Structure 1
Amino acid sequence: MCLDFFFACPAHGMAVETSPDFPMTDMINNLHYVDTPEALEEIAEVFLNADCIGVDLEADSMFHFREKVCLIQMAVGDFIAVIDPLNIDDMGPIVPVFERPEIRKIFHGSDYDVRSLNRDFGITIRNLFDTELASRFLGIPETGLGSVMKQRFGVELDKTYQKKDWSKRPLTDGMIEYGAGDVIYLPRLATILDRELEEKGRTSWVEEECLLLSGVRHQDNGDAPLFTRVKGAGKLDRRSLAVLEELLQLRLTLSEKKDRPPFKVFSNASLHTLAKEKPTTTGRLKACGALSPRQAAAHGAQILKAIEKGVALPEEELPKYPRGKRPSFNPEIPKRMDAIKSYRDDMASRLALDPPILLNKALMTAIAVRNPDTVEELNSIDGLRQWQISTLGQGIVRALHPGS
């Protein structure tokens, strides 16, 4: 394995030439599949000497009960490592690469990746840059990696293996090359986006957002009922909620036993229908159409038992859907919301940005309730970014208090 290639990434914001073009067809010449502890240690030395690296990963959330990271792809220049964590017991050698602040880590749509790397390997990412996020802050309408690659480099990303089970081994050469394809251009893309953000004065916006992104973590449901994760559950009555919870608990048990994602056992929509209909016989179960004939045949008895249990729950034990405490109604709040929204939409139009990127509905509501008289008061509103306060603060206060 050749490891004498090093690549320096230009400081972000500098208008410099990117690395020389290299065709995707020649990528295999610089592609290294890493599936042993010894190879991982060698690869780690390469990336520890880099200024910036492109990073992507593949997981198996579509195929297994407990998802896991199955591949980690890293690129520095045209040197690419496809790391196989399923064949390596200790991923420790690569952890410092992510934790060193002087090494810039470039992702595209990093939220899931950040959570997954921390969950599986305890990795904390410092100095993260998200090219998907940066694209949105530049007003680019289509920010998926495929769209961005085609727009910026005229590259059509191969989607042949997009829905493959990445936990299966051995991997084919095509799958390894596919994994590398999503990461090879990220450092070059970051340099281009840096320059455009600097030109528009939005570098600090993205830096603040990326810093917050680097701190997101995987969260389980804790002690909260499973129905809190089901869309539309809040509209069900308490008896139906009890039935839905029993059905969700059954699905969770079956999912773990089968080692399949819950949605591939029963869909949320199917269980929602069963919770409302509450069939008590096999005939009624089939008639309601919530399950396929195969599902009804395999699990009908268990489904009916779960429904019976929810129906029999004593009235005093019925669950309530948790709802956030609403602020006391103030007739001025809708007017304030309209004023803030009007100002935000006008600014979004001027900046050629999607309005929610500037200020989402939750933040507009919080501001309307607080009704700040000064820009300084905006600092006490949870979730409001510093870039939003510095960019929009004066305008928001003026919109709320036009006569002052």
Structure 2
Amino acid sequence: MPDTPVSPDIITSAEGVGRLAERLGGEPIVACDLEADSMHHYQEKVCLLQFAVPGYAAIVDPLATPDLAPLAPLFADGSRRKVFHGADYDIRSLHRDFGIEVNNLFDTMIACQYLGEREFGLAAALRKRFGVELDKQYQRADWSRRPLSAGMIEYAVKDTTLLIDLYRQLEGELRERGRLPWVEEECVLLTGVRMTQRGDDPLFLRFKGASRLDRRTLAVLEEVLRFRDRRARQADVPPFKILGTDTVRELAEKRPRSAAELVGITGITEKVAARHGEGILRSVEKGMTVPERNLPVFPREERRRLSGPEEQRLKALKGWREEEAARLGIDMGYLANNALLEQLAVAAPRSVGELAASGSLREWQMREFGPGILAALAPRR
């Protein structure tokens, strides 16, 4: 197993951040990770940033020193590779909290997926390749609490100190199989993701299953969600800690009108009823009094019905994808998702030029699978 640093630098000052930026600025590859408090606070925030290079590890505490501007050039530098595992949330969070943009990203989770790994979480990858176990008790820890325990520091360090070794293994395997350009292109696209703002849209638009509810139930659901959101903001906790998803759904569907009718609803314990019962009942009543003409409507995109020939082309493309995915040993969704196949079935390109002009495919998909896609789309006689 590769050697790992035992004691990381814990950086809690602007001067320390500046020194770290200089220290990492000379490294061609830097392993990165972060920890946030989304499970514990209403407005989530980055609470730790971890870095590792061979023989050195550091943890930056942005709660103690929130100005991370000296690190921005490192993240933006396209000549230095930044290695993350499961970078989607990290990329969004770094931009939201610090305005940091990441270039030359390598996501080891994406690499695992394109190598056909069935378990591609970091814990599974480290266990398989290095025999290292991550302590899962810290996955849901409140990283905003101070001081950090020794166990939390050890967990945070392990998240990065083996990432470069993992990256080197995965990069070599991808290169051997000719799939390194696939992952690199996916990583370039990933660097552009950003957090979406809540805005003034109805809360029910982000509630799973809301599209199946009738308009009156949607009105009640919206009022219960607004109540939950207000209480969560006041208590500085995530909304699910006020009322869980199943509880909210049941309240919207059963529409209790009295304290007695709250009894038996999922998640409504005596404590919850005492603390939130009155507010819940008011929100239900408010939803019930919305005039019929003002009831909300869940927006639906009219899905174009495929014609007979389009359905046949889609079936042929799915058959091609299934065969290719089996041959390559990867999940079909990574090869080409259903939305892409449907677009191609409708566009029905007949040549490489038409396929490229459709703008649907990644460059690696076009290069590796363009001929196979065209063959699958070719008219059958």
Q: How would you bin the TM-score normalised by the shorter chain?
A: over 0.9
- Contact 1:341–1:364, Cα closer than 8 Å, also in 2: yes
* Pair 1:359 & 2:348 matched: no
- Contact 1:227–1:233, Cα closer than 8 Å, also in 2: yes
Measure the CA separation in 1 of the matches of 2:372 and 2:144.
51
Measure the CA separation in 2 of the matches of 1:174 and 1:234.
43
Q: 1:383: Cα distance to partner?
A: 5.2
Measure the CA separation in 2 of the matches of 1:146 and 1:105.
19
Q: 1:290: Cα distance to partner?
A: 5.2
Q: 1:402: Cα distance to partner?
A: 4.2
Secondary structure in 2 matching 1:81: strand
- Contact 2:103–2:191, Cα closer than 8 Å, also in 1: yes
Q: 1:173: Cα distance to partner?
A: 2.8
Q: 1:403: Cα distance to partner?
A: 4.0
Measure the CA separation in 1 of the matches of 2:18 and 2:290.
57
Identify the residue that residue 365 of structure 2 maps to in structure 1. 388
Amino acid at match of 1:69: V
Q: 1:256: Cα distance to partner?
A: 0.3
Identify the residue that residue 206 of structure 1 maps to in structure 2. 183
Matching residue within 81, 93, 99 for 1:104:
81
Identify the residue that residue 14 of structure 2 maps to in structure 1. 37
Secondary structure in 2 matching 1:70: strand
* Pair 1:93 & 2:74 matched: no
> Structure 2 vs 1, CA of residues 227 and 380 (structure 1 numbering), >3 Å: closer, same or farther?
farther
Identify the residue that residue 132 of structure 2 maps to in structure 1. 155
Alignment of 1:76-225 (within 5 A): 76-225=53-202
* Pair 1:21 & 2:2 matched: yes
Q: Which moved more, 1:193-202 or 1:278-287?
A: 278-287
Identify the residue that residue 4 of structure 1 maps to in structure 2. none
Secondary structure in 1 matching 2:251: helix
* 5+ residue gaps, structure 1: 1-19
Q: 1:329: Cα distance to partner?
A: 4.1
Measure the CA separation in 2 of the matches of 1:217 and 1:162.
23
TM-score, with length taken from structure 2:
0.96
Q: 1:380: Cα distance to partner?
A: 4.6
Secondary structure in 1 matching 2:263: helix
- Contact 2:38–2:44, Cα closer than 8 Å, also in 1: yes
Q: Which moved more, 1:126-135 or 1:145-154?
A: 145-154
Amino acid at match of 1:379: A
Q: 1:292: Cα distance to partner?
A: 2.4
Secondary structure in 1 matching 2:86: coil
Measure the CA separation in 2 of the matches of 1:307 and 1:343.
51
Amino acid at match of 1:152: R
Amino acid at match of 2:318: K
Q: 1:223: Cα distance to partner?
A: 3.0
Matching residue within 235, 253, 276 for 1:299:
276
- Contact 2:32–2:83, Cα closer than 8 Å, also in 1: yes
Amino acid at match of 1:128: L
Q: 1:368: Cα distance to partner?
A: 1.7
Secondary structure in 1 matching 2:50: strand
Matching residue within 14, 17, 29 for 1:52:
29
Identify the residue that residue 233 of structure 2 maps to in structure 1. 256
Measure the CA separation in 2 of the matches of 1:182 and 1:318.
48
Measure the CA separation in 2 of the matches of 1:291 and 1:385.
49
Q: Note the aligned Cα RMSD (angstroms).
A: 1.6
Identify the residue that residue 233 of structure 1 maps to in structure 2. 210
Identify the residue that residue 247 of structure 1 maps to in structure 2. 224
**Identical aligned residues as a percent:** 44
Amino acid at match of 2:82: K
Q: 1:82: Cα distance to partner?
A: 0.5
Matching residue within 58, 61, 76 for 2:38:
61
Identify the residue that residue 317 of structure 2 maps to in structure 1. 340
- Contact 1:271–1:290, Cα closer than 8 Å, also in 2: no
Measure the CA separation in 2 of the matches of 1:221 and 1:336.
39
Measure the CA separation in 1 of the matches of 2:357 and 2:97.
35
Q: 1:78: Cα distance to partner?
A: 2.1
* Pair 1:73 & 2:69 matched: no
Measure the CA separation in 1 of the matches of 2:202 and 2:352.
40
- Contact 1:127–1:211, Cα closer than 8 Å, also in 2: yes
Measure the CA separation in 2 of the matches of 1:220 and 1:382.
28
Q: Which moved more, 1:111-120 or 1:319-328?
A: 319-328
